[in-house]
Structure 1
Amino acid sequence: MENIKIGLLDFGLRDTKMNSLHVIEDLIEYANHADKLGFSRLWVAEHHVANTRAAWSNPETLLPILAGMTNRIKIGVAGILLSIHNPYHVALNFKLLANLFPGRIDLGLANGVVGEKIAQAAIKDTNQILRSTFDSKLEELVHYLQDEDELFNEGKGIVIPPYKGEIPEIWTLGVSYGSLDRALKLRTNFARSIFHAGSDVSYEKERLAKFREDYFQRYGVVPKMTLAIAGCCHKTSQKAKKILDFLNTKTAVGKGDIFGSPAKFQDQVMTLKEQYGIDEIIFMSAAMKSQDRMMGIELISDIFKLNQN
């Protein structure tokens, strides 16, 4: 069977008995275990919700902790809600992280929605206005990271330290292939979700192949692409479905139907690989209890032989 890379996505959803600091402790343990099991990357989502048990809103502060306590796995945010952030500040923070942890920092960027109260608190503007600023802010951020000599301007401009250092892997996030043109124009990788609300689940392999070809012709490298899914892997398909159904009654997140025993889960993932023409998936576990989450990634690592990839 062909190899496939598998990364993880974490929204901070845990058993309701956990307080916010316990969730972060659990996340660190999860990251350590995933690192040892051979998972390719761990992305932590930015979400701003009025929930007294929320462990984080912007997880950027967690990245050096997670990267510092692991060895191989790539660590990132998927995605930074750029419309409520200053591109200069994001560039400064992520470039420094990329050089503290070379080759291990991912910067995913999303044109996500926040509540009006959050929009006002973050940047004193309405959600509608914020959404309209995403493209210009994304171009500005990419400029800060990719155009170092132009920015420096022989000492008359600015430097994003460290000068001539590495930059993070930049990812454009989307729920369809509508963002492929943006990724091509700005030379970013591309991650597509098929489990978020409103996701387009059509395959469009030809469109993705055309994107790969155009990207290579323009930049001389092949872009990285992932497919984000949600669900559950457990010892039995019945147990996996029970966990997934429980989450679906509690939240809008986790409406993926990729679930089952290790063998069934593997079959579904490899079908997605063929249907969508991708070689990496990002998996968000629907399991709320630590023991189920840990068991799930152990089973996935074993069935896909991730430590042998």
Structure 2
Amino acid sequence: MKIGVLEFGFGGKEENSLVKLRNVFDFALQADELGYERFWLAEHHMYSRRLAWGNPISLVPVIAGFTSRIKVGTGGVLLRVHNPLDVASQFKLWNSIYNDRIDLGLANGGSFNNEMFRVTNPEKETFENRLKDLVGYLLDEESLLEKQIVIPPYSGSVPDIWGLSTSAFGFHRSLKFGMNYVRSVFHEKAELDPNPEGLLQFKKDFENTHHRKVKTILAVSGICLKDPRKLRDVKKEALSGEQNHFIGDLAYFRDKLPELAEKYQMDEILFRVMNLGQEEKLETLESLAEFLGD
């Protein structure tokens, strides 16, 4: 089983932003050493002095630089608050440097901070318009030459592009733009119906259209701890109830992870470890490592 890690950088309530940032670096290194497939960083813009970051893009090459094998990326870039040319240029350069270990995950979201959104997207340009430009910058190199545009390195390695979604509508967008597909079931309003017929048809249509197989990931959220008292406390504090978060001990996940893989028929699982102190986060990471490579 291939499992990746999705990191929000929130950490414990008692930690300031610099401590949280340092802990994330340790967390990424541990994920790399344990054999996890990916380490992705979420983007969020909120009015808080305790955030480790808002925009994670600049952290991607830093983490890729001190890890050795894990794929590092974003889950995902809020493209409506970024310039598509800048994003394409950075991720293409980094992927060429780090031997295809960079992922570019994209999300159709705005910003919790309305002032941030106003400053970065004054024209209120749509996500799909910016996505079209970004994909063109990365995949249509010869067409760009005709416009006297080169995004270095020329003939460099283009990162895998992932479209993030909370519903089956993501099929349409991934098919249209040739993106790999990530489906989250941990967001509060996520669509939980696995829709196996729709997924199968999407995979067939994608291969017929783009002449390659689409890669798929199921994003889930949870905690795996040994201490039953800690588990009881964590369940009480879960943000949206257990329908969206999976909380239990290792025996629970021995049943749950194969069940999710079978139910949703995705290639990989992307696991977001919920807001905990560093010790508990590392415990979850080490526990779930049992499933890697099975």
The TM-score range, normalised by the shorter chain, is over 0.9
The aligned residue for residue 198 of structure 1 is: 189
* 1:219 equivalent among 210, 213, 230: 210
* Overall identity of the aligned pairs, in %: 38
Look up the match of 1:57. Answer: 54
Which letter does structure 1 place at the counterpart of 2:233? K
CA distance in 2, matches of 1:287, 1:299: 17
* Aligned CA distance change for structure 1 residues 243 and 223 (closer, same or farther; 3 Å): same
User: Among residues 223, 234, 246, which one is paired with 2:225 in the alignment?
Assistant: 234
Name the structure 1 match of 2:143: 150
Match for 2:190: what amino acid? S
The 1:39/1:23 distance shift into structure 2, 3 A limit, reads: same
1:81 equivalent to 2:78? Answer: yes
Aligned to 1:262: 250
Pick from 172, 178, 185 the counterpart of residue 176 of structure 2: 185
C-alpha contact (below 8 Å) 1:175/1:192 kept by paired residues: yes
Separation of aligned partners in 2, 1:215 and 1:148: 22
Q: Which has the higher helix share?
A: 1
Asked if structure 2 preserves the Cα contact closer than 8 Å seen for 1:24 and 1:55, the reply is yes
**CA offset digits 1:161-208 (Å, max 9, x no partner):** 100011111001110010211111211100011111211111101111
Q: Is the 8 A contact 1:231 1:244 kept in 2?
A: no
Note closer, same or farther for the CA distance 1:204–1:238 as it changes in structure 2 (3 Å cut): farther
Residue 235 of structure 1, CA deviation: 1.4
Contact 2:28 2:63 in 1 (8 A): yes
Match of 1:286 in 2: 274
Indicate if the aligned counterparts of 2:81 and 2:110 stay in contact, CA closer than 8 A: no
Q: How many residues align?
A: 293
2:118 partner amino acid: Q
Please provide the CA RMSD for this pair: 1.7
Map 1:1-309 to 2 at 5 A.
4-114=1-111, 115-125=113-123, 129-130=124-125, 133-153=126-146, 156-236=147-227, 239-248=230-239, 256-302=244-290, 304=291, 306=292, 308=293
Return closer, same or farther for 1:173/1:201 CA change in 2, 3 Å cut-off: same
Contact kept, 8 Å, 2:225 with 2:248, in 1: the verdict is yes
Secondary structure class of the residue paired with 2:198: helix
Letter in 1 for 2:193: S
In structure 2, what residue type is equivalent to 1:147?
D
Deviation of the 1:236 alpha carbon: 4.6
Question: Cα offset for 1:231?
Answer: 1.0
What secondary structure is seen at the aligned counterpart in 2 of 1:59?
coil
Q: TM-score scaled to structure 1, two decimals?
A: 0.90
